Structure 1
């Protein structure tokens, strides 16, 4: 098991449990560091609380008394806890460093870290990169915001293994010395401003991914987004741009027919399963990261010819009698559905509807040019019916997403795209967007 190196703190407060806090506390205890845990929500009989107590941690639950900071030299904060939390603010007043467990993970890793961040596309790019390396027989493990705690992976990572990390702005705010060998910055759009306060703070958090890099490290960035180009201007890293619009002999790029890395053609675009310009950006970033990490072109091609996308995010489901089904259940707002509709130039049947949050759908109107039919469900189906009427598109109202799939298939023609992209949250009929998407996928498979 890997150990923390050059870690000068002997007493650490872990603030917030969940997966990352529990893993961080356990790691610190295994490294013979005195640990105090504070979680306001966890019950005293929680299994993780009891496990950490048995390992020697002091655990305080039910409140956030400022006294938990007494005698502490560092705070490891759960990424979801905001910086206006009283404990965090008091720690800063006392000049106690506040980090996230990503910093601990970086401390233990001897091999290469590929860190991937951005407002959109992180998960797809992370999975693509890892699969390209795996297909090339390069030893690799996935971790981070994608669902696997980074310290759990880092503690057992072998020196020859690479770690591909999906990193959120919440995680990146809490780093001090963390430095990936390859950093990927996909895009920066206004997001999580309730957490960060301002767009400038959010942008700064994203830019932490490359702040400790040197010229010996690589920074892959979106050369077509002005905000990103401005952000990386002062980076010391070796810069590798990517663009869907123009030739870049020092990076990854695409023209009308193919994808390239520097001077090498990688694949014809028509062979790629993933659709959408936003996914082409993710593909270019992943190609660059994989090539810089030793992946070969044939392995990259095989991945791009078979990777159907992240579940519920413009995920290819099946082709039945020349009807092509896509599951984009994670499209819980209008912007996401706009992107989905922009990904297709074929006749499309749009399946939409869900929780009524009081908003309208007029912003979808310019994106309905290829939509031939709308199949609508949920609380917003009447609102969306008005949009269809305004656009001159036929609409059918049904009870749920399973009936929507069957209805769309019955009314489709060969060559049509049948797209679930609800533009609404799922909570009027389903507990999660995953449940909604799974029901759609199941309904599609029954059509076979």
Structure 2
């Protein structure tokens, strides 16, 4: 695919938009950028593109598409917006950056998706590859933007992509060498409209794979297991519950790989540092990918034993007066937050709430299992979660206005050996730009709490 002198419209000037613009400029395309936000709100990103000849159309939702050859959209922009509907009528193709990257470059690609665990699994796979001496880039839904990394890479470089449903929705030719679906739960229904659309977007990760490729699947997730019937590539299952004749599973406190003939011990469960059964899923996913790429087992074992997790995912922040504080801001949906609650012992003071993605919270409340001693709520979903909690006779529910109030309230309620857990079961939008900003706010509030207590003692 040659895009030199092509007129390309970038929709959305965020991280992926900036990376796409820089890459497309290097590839000598003519660039137009449209964003509904005003110029003043985008000043930081515009400054990054100061030396590039770009036509900006900012503060509007629609522009004339008569001379546009291709649209590269920010993953979060819905296909239902007028400008994309107009493009479809005009037969202008609309794709995401991972699709364009695949078409332009021929690097080997590993793509990881699932409702939960993507970031942890992607980060761990990246570490395994780098520790094995393989030049690997972690990109996609995390990082600086895949197009800019691809345009500056070597042909032999490997790309490990965290692929969201938003990114996969507008892919057509995308064909990773290794793909994985860690799990499937209801999420992003506000964006996709319904669960079936969400699931279909996820399934695009293996749509174009063939018998030369690999797909790693979660045997314990029945919906994911059933996908094998639609997959043309070599399938490798992992399970935390059953001993598989061929695949990755747990046996006698070891994660084991069986090739159908012999069992190979990969790592002892006691040697894993990150807590929670969900992280065992993430580790088995990474093992499946690494084995499919023929990485040495000793190297895989060493990296996993040293891996301490990722920021904002059940991240230990501090212990203050025998109370431990955990940041799980990446718990942006109900299933992720349930896993966080399961990973910690009670009593837990839970801070939750945020942007409403049209989720219902009964399943979330049912998972409390007597562990939650107090529930502190903020954001759009606060009253919705409170209503569900009251149905289940949950006591000690508090609604606060911001993270400062939440942390201070948690401190005032915490008893000896309690855990304070931020795991919102909601997206961050409305109060924060992203989950990382929310997690950083929580961590800073905990740091301020410690500082204030130390000042009082001195």
The TM-score with structure 1 as length reference comes to 0.82
CA drift of 1:57 comes to: 2.8
Match of 2:114 in 1: 118
Task: Provide the secondary structure at the position in 2 that maps to 1:176.
Answer: coil
CA separation in 2, counterparts of 1:192 and 1:395?
26
CA separation in 2, counterparts of 1:42 and 1:357?
23
CA drift of 1:143 comes to: 0.8
Moved more, 152-161 or 73-82: 152-161
Match of 2:276 in 1: 276
CA separation in 1, counterparts of 2:198 and 2:425?
25
Alignment check: 8 A CA contact 1:15 1:38 kept: yes
CA drift of 1:138 comes to: 2.1
Task: Provide the secondary structure at the position in 1 that maps to 2:39.
Answer: coil
What RMSD over aligned residues (CA atoms) do the two structures have, in Å? 3.9
Moved more, 115-124 or 393-402: 393-402
Alignment check: 8 A CA contact 2:110 2:160 kept: yes
Match of 1:420 in 2: 421
Alignment check: 8 A CA contact 1:375 1:397 kept: no
Match of 2:407 in 1: 401
CA drift of 1:270 comes to: 1.9
CA offset digits 1:65-94 (Å, max 9, x no partner): 442x10222111111111111111111112
Match of 1:374 in 2: 373
Moved more, 329-338 or 14-23: 329-338
Alignment check: 8 A CA contact 2:323 2:420 kept: no
- With over 3 angstroms needed to count, the CA separation of the structure-2 counterparts of 1:264 and 1:332, relative to structure 1, is same
- With over 3 angstroms needed to count, the CA separation of the structure-2 counterparts of 1:84 and 1:383, relative to structure 1, is closer
CA separation in 2, counterparts of 1:403 and 1:266?
44
Task: Provide the secondary structure at the position in 2 that maps to 1:113.
Answer: strand
CA separation in 2, counterparts of 1:25 and 1:91?
20
Match of 1:288 in 2: 288
Match of 1:100 among 85, 96, 103: 96
- With over 3 angstroms needed to count, the CA separation of the structure-2 counterparts of 1:402 and 1:162, relative to structure 1, is farther
CA separation in 2, counterparts of 1:132 and 1:81?
33
Task: Provide the secondary structure at the position in 1 that maps to 2:347.
Answer: strand
Structure 1 gap ranges (5+): none
Alignment check: 8 A CA contact 2:3 2:29 kept: no
Alignment check: 8 A CA contact 2:323 2:416 kept: no
Aligned length: 433
Matches within 5 A, 1:12-411: 12-43=8-39, 46=43, 48-49=45-46, 55-67=52-64, 69-255=65-251, 257-262=253-258, 263-317=263-317, 326-331=326-331, 335-344=335-344, 346=345, 348-353=346-351, 366-369=366-369, 371=371, 374=373, 377=376, 400-401=406-407, 404=410, 408=414, 411=416
CA separation in 2, counterparts of 1:62 and 1:325?
41
Moved more, 28-37 or 142-151: 28-37
Alignment check: 8 A CA contact 2:142 2:162 kept: yes
Alignment check: 8 A CA contact 2:332 2:427 kept: yes
The TM-score with structure 2 as length reference comes to 0.80
- With over 3 angstroms needed to count, the CA separation of the structure-2 counterparts of 1:374 and 1:445, relative to structure 1, is same
Match of 1:433 among 419, 432, 438: 438
CA offset digits 1:29-64 (Å, max 9, x no partner): 221222222222241884654775853332222324
